[in-house]
Amino acid sequence: MIYLVMLVVGLGLLIAPWLKKHKRYDYLEEFNRTEFVESVMANQQAVDLRSLSDRSLWDTILLRWSNFQKQLGARPTIKLAALLAVLFFASIQFNSHFLREPIWMVTPPFMLTGLFIFYRWLQNREQKMFETAFPNALNMMTSAVSAGESIMHAILYVGNTLEGDIGREFRIMGKRLQLGESPDEVFRKSCHRYPYPSFYFFVITLRANMQRGGQLKDIMMRLNRMMFNARSIDKKKYALTSEARTSAKIVAAIPFFSCLFCNISAQKTLSL
C-alpha cells in the first residue's frame, strides 16, 4: 500500500506544473474591447481578434483531438490502440512487481498518466518543430514581399518552397485564399492548428496589412528578430539551469530506484 501512496504522490507532483491554468492571449481580449475612433469603418477593428481566441469548451476539445490525430501521423487509430495496449500490459507488470493491489485501482490511473505524458510530449515536440521552421518561413515570405509579390502569392511561395508541416500549412492557406475564402476564416483555421503566440502575431500582422496597409516587410523582420531573441534567451536559461534540473531529476528518481532495488532483493531472498 505504501508503494501505491508513493506512486500517487509522485505522479501528482509530476503532473501539477502542467495543470496550472494560465490565462493565455489576454492581450487579444483586451484589444478586442478597445474602442476605436470613427475613422474605422462601422466602428469595427481591422482584425477580428475574438475569432482567433474565443472558443467554447467543446470546440477546444474537438480541436485538441484533431491536432492530436495529426500529430500521430498516418493511421492514428492503430497507433493509439497500440499505445493503449502497451500501457495496459505495462500497468499489469508494474502492479505485479511493485504494488500488488487490485488491478482496477492501478490500471486506469497508470494508463491515464501515460496518455497524458505522451500527449504532452507530442505537444512539446510539435512546438519545437514549429519554432525551428517558422523563422525560415518568415525569412522566405519577407524576401517574397520585398520582391514585390502580394501577400497571397508570398504565402503560396513559402508553401511551395518550404518542406515540412509549416510549408504544408502555408500551402493550404494560399490555396484557400486563391479560392476566394475569407482571410479571417483562413487565418482562424491556421491559428487552430498552431495556437502559438508568434503565429498569432504573424496572423494579426497579415490581416491588418490586408485591411489597412502598412510596412509589412519591416514588421515581419522585427517579428523574426523577436523570435530569434526569444530562442536565444530560452537556450541561455536552459544552459544556466541545466545543473539544477539534472540534480532535481536524480533526487526525484531515487525513491523509484530504491523501490525497484528493494523489490528485486526481496524476490531473490524469497527464491532462495
Per domain, the residue ranges of the chain are 61-251
Q: What is the pLDDT of residue 5?
A: 53
Q: What is the pLDDT of residue 133?
A: 87
Q: What is the pLDDT of residue 52?
A: 59
Q: What is the pLDDT of residue 60?
A: 82
Q: What is the pLDDT of residue 119?
A: 92
Q: What is the pLDDT of residue 100?
A: 77
Q: What is the pLDDT of residue 25?
A: 43
Q: What is the pLDDT of residue 15?
A: 59
Q: What is the pLDDT of residue 122?
A: 92
Read off φ and ψ for residue 181, nearest 5 degrees: -70, 145
How does DSSP classify residue 40?
Answer: S
* Closest among 196, 206, 200, 79 to 152, alpha carbons compared: 206
Could you tell me the pTM of the whole model? 0.70
**Taking a C-beta distance cutoff of 8 angstroms, is the pair 154, 18 a contact?**
no
Query: Which parts of the chain have pLDDT scores under 50?
Result: 20-46
Integer angstrom CA distances of residue 245 from 12, 121, 203, 241 = 18, 18, 35, 6
Rounded Cα distance, 152 and 36, in Å:
28
**Taking a C-beta distance cutoff of 8 angstroms, is the pair 141, 157 a contact?**
yes
Integer angstrom CA distances of residue 89 from 93, 94, 198 = 6, 9, 41
Rounded Cα distance, 77 and 139, in Å:
37
Q: What is the pLDDT of residue 88?
A: 93
Neighbours of 235 (CB within 10 A): 10
